[in-house]
Amino acid sequence: MKLIVRNRITDKLLAIILPYKYAAVILFNLAIFCLAYWASYYLRFEGLIPEAYMAIMIRTMPVVLVVQVGFFLYHDLFRGLWRYVSFADLQNILRASLMSMLTLVVLDFFLSPYLGYTPRSIFALNCMLLVFLSGGARFAARHFRERYRLSDGSSNTKRVMLVGPVMETEPIIREMLAHGGEYLPVAVIDPNIKMRGYRVYDVPIVGGIPQIARAVEKSMVQEIIFAWPDAPEDQLSDIIEECKRSQVRFKKIPSLSEVIGGRFRMADVRDIELEDLLPRPPIYIERDQVRDFIHQRSVLITGAGGSIGSELCRQLAQFQPKLLLMVERNENSLYETELALKRRYPDTAIEALIASINDAPGLNLLLQKYQPEIIFHAAAYKHVPLMERCPIEAAYNNILGTRNLVNAALKTGTEYFVMISTDKAVNPTSAMGASKHLAEQYVRACNGNSDTTKFIITRFGNVLGSAGSVIPIFKTQLAQGGPLYVTHPEIERFFMTIPEAVQLVLQAAYMGKGGDIFVLKMGRPVKIRELAEKLILLAGKTPGKDIAIKYTGLREGEKMYEELFNEGELSQPSHHPLIDYAIGSVESKDVWERHLDDIQCIVRRGDAENLIDKFKILIKNYSPPQH
C-alpha cells in the first residue's frame, strides 16, 4: 500500500516538473555560462578582479549570454538527454564554444567603446572553461546515473558478464549503461589475461576465459553474453565449456553480417545456435552490384516455398525487383511465404503462383504471361534415401522438370537462368545426385543456344536448418532425450547457413556471363559426429553420458565425404574469395536432348532398373548401391 501511495505521489510530482524540464535545462546552462565568464576574469586577474573590469564584466555579461545561448541552441545542446551524452555531444560543445569566442571577439571590436575593453585572454579562457564546465556537467550526470545503476539491486535487470576483447565489449557496455533496460553489465572476461584489473566504464575486467565460472559466482552473474563474433574455434569451444560449468544461460551478439547497415541494438542479443560453433568463412557480397542486377527486373523463383527458395525470395525482395514471382506446388508453404513477404515488403510487387515444373505446357503459358527476366531454379527433390527408393521421381522432377523450365525460358527470352545445384551432383553415388548431375550438364549445354539467355549454375553443400536436414532431426531427437543417430563416426559434410548460401548465390548470379558453374566455398568439412556433440553441449548436456550418440551405418547412396568438383573439372578462382569456377567440357544441347528423350521414355515406362543403367552410361564411374 505504501508503495502504491509513493508511486502516485511520484507520478504527480513528475507531471508538475516535466513541462518545466526544458526551462530548467536552459537555466542550468545559463548558470554555467555565467560561472565560466566570471571564472575567466577570476583566473585572468589571479583572484583579484579590479573594480573597473568587474564593471566591464557585468556590462558585457548579457551580450556573452545571448551569443552563447544562440550557438548552443544552434547545435541543439539544450535538448539532448544528458544520460546519453557521447563524444559527439562534446564535439558540439567545442564547436559552439569556439564559434561563441570568435563572435565575441568581433563584437568586442565594435562594442568596446560603449561597454569597455575586454582583454583578449578572457575570451580564450572563457572558451576553455565553457567546454570544461558544460561538458563536465553532462558527463558527470551520465557517470553518476551509471554508477547508480551498477549499485542498484533492481529486479527488472539481469546482471550480465560480457566475454570478448575490450574493442568488442566496449560499445556494448556503453549501450547497456546508456539505455538501461534488461541488462546490467557487472563484469568482463577478456581473452588477453594482461587486461585483468582494468575497467571499462567502471565495469571490471575480472580475468581470462579460465576464470568464467569463478567470476559468475563472485559477481552474481545471471547471464553471460558472448561478444566475440570472430573468436577462434578452439577458444570458442573453451568458452562454451566454461559457460556450461557456470550453469548460467549464455547468449551472443550477432556478427556484422547479421546486423547489416545498422548499429548494435540490445534487441539483437540472441541465444547461441549450433551454426555459431561451426568453422565457416565470413560472408560478404557486392551489395550495390547485386542490387543493380536485381532492381526493377522481373524475377521468378521455382521451389519458392522450400528452404532455399523462400530465403531467395526474402533476400531478393530487399532489392526491390519490378515483380517477384513465387512458383511452388505446395500450397501451404507458398501461402505462408507469401504472407510473410507481403507483410515485410509491402512496396514490392509479389505474386504467388501454384505451378509444377513437370507441367511443360503450363510453364510455357506462365512464362509467356509474366516474361521473367531472371529465373532462379530451386525446385528439386533433395533427400538421398527417398530418391534412392524412387529414382523415377528423381529423374522426372530434377532432370525433366529442369528441361521443361529451360525450354520455356528459351522461348520467352529470359535473360538469366540460375540453377541451384548441390555437391551431391559431383561424382554421384545416389539417384538424387545423378539426377542433379545430369540436370547440370543439360543446363550448361543449353548456354549459347540463345542470343538472350545466359545459363548459370551454383553448386554448394549442405545448408544448416533446412527442412529434413540433419540439425532439425538432431534437435527432435535431443528433445526426446536421445539418442542422436549418426550413420558413421567419420562421415563429414560441408555446411553453410541458408542466408549465407543464398547471399553467395545472388553474388554468383550477378557475376555470371553464361555457361558458368560457380562453386561456393563453405569452409572446411565438419564431421557429423562433432555436430551432434556440439549440439548436446549447447543443451547443457555431456555427449556419451547424458545423451548417447549411436551409429547406424551408411544409408543407400550416401557418401562418406562430399566433393565440390567432378573428375575432369578444374577449379579456377573468381574475383570473389568465396566463389570458384568449375571448368570442364560438355556435349552439345542436341546430344543432351537425345539423352533426355531416352530418360523421358524410361520414366514414362516406370523402368527404374533401366534408368540406373542409363545413369551409368551418362555419368563416368557412377556406381550406385546394390539394392
The CA-CA-CA angle for residues 148, 152, 157, to 5°, reads 115
Torsion angle defined by CA atoms of residues 458, 464, 467 and 471, in that order, rounded to the nearest 10 degrees: 150
The C-alpha atoms of residue 316 and residue 345 are separated, in whole angstroms, by: 11
The CA distance from 129 to 36, in Å, is: 5
- The DSSP secondary-structure symbol of 85 reads -
Cα-only R_g, the chain: 34
Q: Which three cell numbers stand for residue 159?
A: 546482471
Per the CB < 8 A criterion, the answer to whether 336 and 348 are in contact is no
Between vectors from CA 398 to CA 393 and to CA 404, what angle results, nearest 5°?
A: 110
Q: Which of 252, 424, 559, 589 is catalytic?
A: 424
* Catalytic residue flag (residue 252): no
CB-based contact 561:436 (threshold 8 Å): no
| Start-to-end C-alpha separation, the chain | 78
Name the nearest CA neighbour of 118 among 129, 106, 131.
Answer: 106
Place of cell 563474433: 229
Answer yes or no: are the C-beta atoms of 322 and 297 closer than 8 Å. Answer: yes
User: Which amino acid would we find at residue 133?
Assistant: L
Give the number of other CB atoms < 10 A from CB of residue 622: 18
366: closest CA among 319, 335, 323? 323
Q: How many helices (H) and strands (E) does the chain have?
A: 21, 22
Q: How many CA atoms does the CB half-sphere of 622 hold within 13 Å? A: 23
What is the sign of the dihedral through the CA atoms of 16, 17, 18 and 21? positive
Q: Return d(Cα 136, Cα 149) in angstroms, integer.
A: 20
Is the separation of the CB atoms in 172 and 225 below 8 Å?
Answer: yes
132-160 burial code (b ≥16 CB/10 A, e <16): ebbbebbbeebbebbeebeeeeeeebbbb
Amino acid at position 150, single letter: L
Q: How far apart are CA 495 and CA 527, in angstroms?
A: 10
Q: Kindly list the catalytic residues.
A: 424
